Structures are given as C-alpha cells and as structure tokens.
Structure 1
Amino acid sequence: MDALANLLDGPRARGAFLLRSVLTPPWSIRIADRAPLTLVHMVRGDAWIRTDDGRARLLRPGDIAVIRGPEPYVVAGDRETEPQIVIRPGQVSTDVEGNELCEQMDLGVRTWGDDPDGVGGIRGGAEEPSPASAVMISGTYQMRGEVSSRLLSALPQVLVLAGDAWSSPLPALLSEEIVRDEPGQEVVLDRLLDLLLIAVLRTWFARPEAAAPAWYAAQSDPVVGPALRLLHDDPARPWTVADLAARTGVSRAALGRRFTDLVGEPPMAYLTGWRLALAADLLREPDTTIASVARRVGYGSPFALSAAFKRVRGVSPQQYRERTPAAS
C-alpha cells in the first residue's frame, strides 16, 4: 500500500453525511459543523465559498471543492448575501436565531432546500418562475484521527478542482445514486464518496499549484517510492536502513541520503512518525489495549511505545486515550 492509500484509509467514509441541496437565490449558508473534511460538487448554478479570513472561491457547475475543517465557512450564491441558515455539529440546520429547519426544508431522499423542482412558484401575484435554483451535493466526513491529520495538513483550507480540468464519471454517478433509496445504499454512497475524494486528490496533487507534500512526490521515485511502500505495508516489522536498502537495491548511504532529500527526514524518523500516528488511531478504538497497540505498530512492549509516544506527543498513550473521543 502506498502512502496516499494509507492516509486515505483514515478518512474512509463510514456512514458519511451526504446531501443534495436545492436552493433558490439569494441563498447563503454558514457551515459550522466542525467536520474535518467536506467535499462539495456543484451540479447547477454558481456558489462562493467564503472563509473567515476574507478569502472567497467561486464554484461553477461541474467544479468540486474540498474543504478542510474544523474552521467555519460560508457557502453562498453570491459574495455579499449574509447567511440565512447555519449548519451546526451533528448536521443540524437552523436559522441564524437557532430555530431548527431540518423538517421544514426536507425535500425527500437525501435532498434538502427550499425548491423541490428547481424553480420557484408565484411572485407578485403572477405565475412566474424564479431564477433557477442552485443544486449542489455535499459529502461530509465525520472522522477525527491522527493518520488522517497527516493528509489534512497537506491540504489548503479550500481547494477547487474545475470541472473542465479533469474527466471522471464519478460526479455524475454520485448525483444519480444520492437520490436512490434502496437496500445497501448507504454503503454504495460511502464508497462513491471515497472514490471521488481519491480521484480529486490525485488530480489535485499532480497540479503544480498544489505544492504536493514531499511524501507524495517521493512515491514516484524509483528508490524512495518502494521504500515508502515497504514501511507502509508492514510498519510493525523491525526495519533498519540496511533492510530497506537491501530491499530497494541500493546502499544504506544512498538510501538514507535520497530518502532524506525527498521526504524531508531520514527513513527511521519517518517510520517512527508513521507508527505513532497509527498508534494514536488505534488508541481511539475502545477494545484495544496499549500492549496490543504496541505489537501492531512495531514496539516490543507497552513501555517502549509509551516512551516514544510521550517523547513525541508530550503525553502518555493512556493520557492521550483519556483526552481523545473514542472512534465510532
């Protein structure tokens, strides 16, 4: 498994929140759900994503945005409209005074908004269609894990992939599947959301402006790429630089120098960081023990894991577990 696959394994959707929104202009929503990662596909109409630092990004039909939380942001039909709706933790929708709107704006299977047909009704006493509603699909990951934080830290708060910058059948397929109500549909949608996120991130990281993290760029190197895959495939193995060098067909010195140049740290330092990230995720599982976590990530004893964990993170594994919400 390569580094990106491992990191994406952290935010794998499990009952992700997916919603098709149909909104009549002027509309504006403040997203304050504290979700760590959200993907938005603009199906029809335009939208602006405004962050609290004053930046704004335009979404046109076909564009996809990935938004890194937990900071709040606004999604609106234009740059000026003030929010009329707030999405709070737990995906509870309210007006700005806090009155719940979930039932009032329910439009059917995974669909929400104020216009079920995409046009308005009567204005000024005469039958006249309102401007075409905006339609967007949002998928929200609920996870909070240390492995996924490595991926999140590599992303800007908002990245936008223009619809004409790539080609994929996945957005259309998600649009088609999100309104279906069939057995097993939640799993189908989870997997589609995962596939779309992976496709978007691969395309994004390949672009010059993405400034892809060192571990991603290094995967294509003929020496460092295989070494990274070996570490990610079997982090519990008692690796040494000599072992990695032998498996990749170069000398210890050549591997150490090339790995450090491309990844930004020596192989064993990278392995330590990866093991402790895995350990942090495993500690969130309610049925694991510190001893079992130590074995799974390559430490010979709970004491060895505790010493490394406290040296790097400043707290013991037990203290970390007590302070961190359990995984769902």
Structure 2
Amino acid sequence: MLRVSNFRGVLGARIEAGSSWQVSVQEYPGMAMHAVLAGNAWLTTGDRTPLHLATGDVVMTPARVPHHITDRPEDDTGEPTVFPPDGARRALTVGAGPTLTRILTVFYDCDHATRTQVVDEMSGFIHIVGGEGGAAYLDDIVTLLGRELDQPQLATTAVIDGLIDIVLICMVRAWIALRPSGRRGTWLGWADDPVVEKAVTLIHRDPAFDWTTSSLAAATSVSRATLSRRFAAAMGLSPADYIAQWRMDVAAVRLRDTSDSVEKVAAAVGYRSVPSFTRAFARDRGRTPGAYRSHAVESRATPRSIRTRYH
C-alpha cells in the first residue's frame, strides 16, 4: 500500500540548537516527524497546548498543520529565514551559545491523487515518549539513524533511506495502538475484522481477477450480505467500491513507474478492453492513462520549505 501511494520520506534537517531558538514548519502537504536526540524542546501550534519533548521523544504531526519547534514556547518573535528540506542531510545550527538540543526532522509525503491513503487517514499528533517505543523498536531505530548521521560510513545514504522508511512503519503501528477506534472507516479498518482482512488480501494479491462481492464472499466463506455489512463497517466502502479503487490505484502506479503499454496495464487490473479501462481511469483520475503518465513524469512532488526563526 505504501508503494502504491508512492509514500516517501526525506531528511529535512539535523537541528543543532543552543538557546533562544525556533524552527517554524509552514503548511506542508505531508507529515513531519521530529526525533529529539538530545536535550529538550517544545512543539507548538496555534490551537493546542505546547507539547514538551525530551531526549528520546518522537512526534509525528498531521498533514498540512503548521507548527513550531522551540526552546521558549511563550516567545514567538523574530524574522524567519528559509531552509528547504531538500534531502541534503545538513545540520541546521540555530540559537545562541553551545549546542544544548539535537533534533532530527524527517518529512513524509505521498501521491495525494492515490485514493488508498496513509497521510490523509492518520489524524492527530502522535507523541511517543522516549523509552515507550520498544514494541516498535523505535528507540533503537532513531538512535541508529542519529549515529549514521554523526558517523557516516560505507553506504550510509542507503542505510538512512531504509531507516526513514522503517520509522514511518513504526509510527503507523504507534498510531494504530494509540487510536484503536480511529482506524474504523479507513483503509486500516480491515485490521479489525479477519473476514475483511482476507477479502482485502485477495484483492491486493490479484487485482486482475474477476472479483465481485459474491466471489469474495464465497472465497471468505461468508454470505454476500455479511461481507457487504462487515466491509462497510470496517472500511467505509462496499467491496465493489474498494475493488474499483484499488484497481485504479494499481493502474496509476504502473503508469507512473513503468513503461508498460496501456493495454498491458489494463489487463493487469482486470480490464479486457482498453477503451473501457481508459473511460474508467479518466473518471477516477480526471485524465486519460496517457495524459496521467505524462503528467506524472513531469511533476514529481517536492517537499515545501521549512522556515527557521532565531533571535
């Protein structure tokens, strides 16, 4: 699912902070993750109580939520300067005096045209207190990430990229654990129902198969009515709607990431006719398959800027 939605992470900055500093993250289409490697900081937004962050803490912000990381939550002055999260893996030095706080920032985003989403479903702030991420091995992974940045070695870039992906999976696990009811009605809702989980697995495993609500019900050993009811309760969609959604998402990936012909892509998602696939894809994505492929090649999404304030 992460591959289908083109989910990706980019290292925004290694913040090396003294005293009297603020890093301001403006509205960003994806999520931001901040891991405190040493020291203390506060995360503030316009409408919530400042959140204290200590050594070992990790926090993930929701998509499109501007926020600030600072050592003085009551002080919001100073002119910002622009720092782009361009994956340069650079250190950002802010504040006065010696370094007291070290923070690692990672930005996560995806293809927002994909209908099967993680970013848009994970609502709220996720705060993992240092020492409480053991179930997902988050503490160890963040420590290793900081060590790789401090002491680059052979293939450090590959290691960092892999660890960034693993941190995301750990945060998804944490979100599920912290909000067990929050996944109901989202794509993660299948995790609450073994029948729906089996049906979703079958759809994912072979999107080209002629799946219907009836054939899925037979494959999961329940009645058509039972599957429809449980599917809607778990995921907020009917089986037929999810089949169509997943097929269009898979088709978009094939068009975006491969040179497969439109005919081959259509067959891979269960369409025997290219015209019927083209009509269905255009309804879903607002572009024909060919136009979608051209647009995807030309417009790879790039993260937006971070603004830093220091005084």
TM range (shorter): 0.7 to 0.9
Q: CA deviation at 1:133?
A: 1.7
1:109-144 residue CA offsets vs partner (Å, 9 max, x unmatched): 7433158xxx93xxxxxxxxx5x6211111223643
Structure 1 CA distance for aligned equivalents of residues 178 and 28 of structure 2? 28
Which letter maps to 2:133? Answer: W
1:140 maps to 107
Deviation of 1:60 (Å): 2.7
Alignment CA distance shift 1:81-1:184 (3 Å): same
Q: Is the 8 A contact 1:29 1:87 kept in 2?
A: no
Structure 1 residues 152 and 48: CA distance shift in structure 2, 3 A? same
Q: Deviations over 1:64-93 (max 9, x none)?
A: 12234455433222222335544454539x
- Structure number with the bigger relative contact order (C-alpha 8 A, sep ≥ 6) is 2
Aligned to 1:174: 145
The alpha-carbon deviation at position 198 of structure 1 amounts to: 0.7
Shift of 1:312: 3.4
Pair 210,175 (structure 1): closer, same or farther in 2 beyond 3 Å: farther
Specify the SS of the correspondent of 1:47: strand
Name the counterpart of 2:77: 82
For normalisation by structure 2, the TM-score amounts to 0.79
Distance 1:318 1:275, change over 3 A: same
Query: Equivalent residues in 2 for 1:183-202 (5 A)?
Result: 183-202=154-173
By percentage of residues, which structure has more strand? 2
Match of 2:252 in 1: 280
Give the C-alpha shift of residue 313 in structure 1: 4.0
Aligned match of 1:156 in 123, 145, 148? 123
**1:262-282 Cα distance to aligned partner (Å, 9 max, x none):** 222211111111222233344
Q: What secondary structure is seen at the aligned counterpart in 1 of 2:207?
A: coil
Which residue of the partner structure matches residue 17 of structure 1? Answer: 11
Q: Which of residues 286, 289, 294 in structure 1 aligns to 2:266?
A: 294
Identical-pair percentage: 26
- 8 Å contact from structure 2 (residues 116, 245) kept in 1: no
The 3 A distance-change label for structure 1 pair 201 and 148 is farther
CA 187–241 in structure 1, closer or farther in 2 if over 3 Å, else same: same
Structure 2 CA distance, aligned partners of 1:77 and 1:194? 28
1:9-65 superposed Cα distances (whole Å, 9 cap, x missing partner): 645547x32532211121112224846233211122333333456774433322212
Residue ranges of structure 2 left out of the alignment (5+ in a row): 302-311
Q: 1:258 to 1:294 in 2, by over 3 A?
A: same
1:222 aligns with 2:194: yes
Q: Contact 1:279 / 1:294 at 8 angstroms: preserved in 2?
A: yes
Distance 1:35 1:251, change over 3 A: closer
The root-mean-square deviation of aligned C-alpha atoms, in Å, is 3.3
Q: Offset of 1:243 from its aligned partner?
A: 2.4
TM normalised by structure 1 equals 0.75
Indicate the SS of the match to 1:137: strand
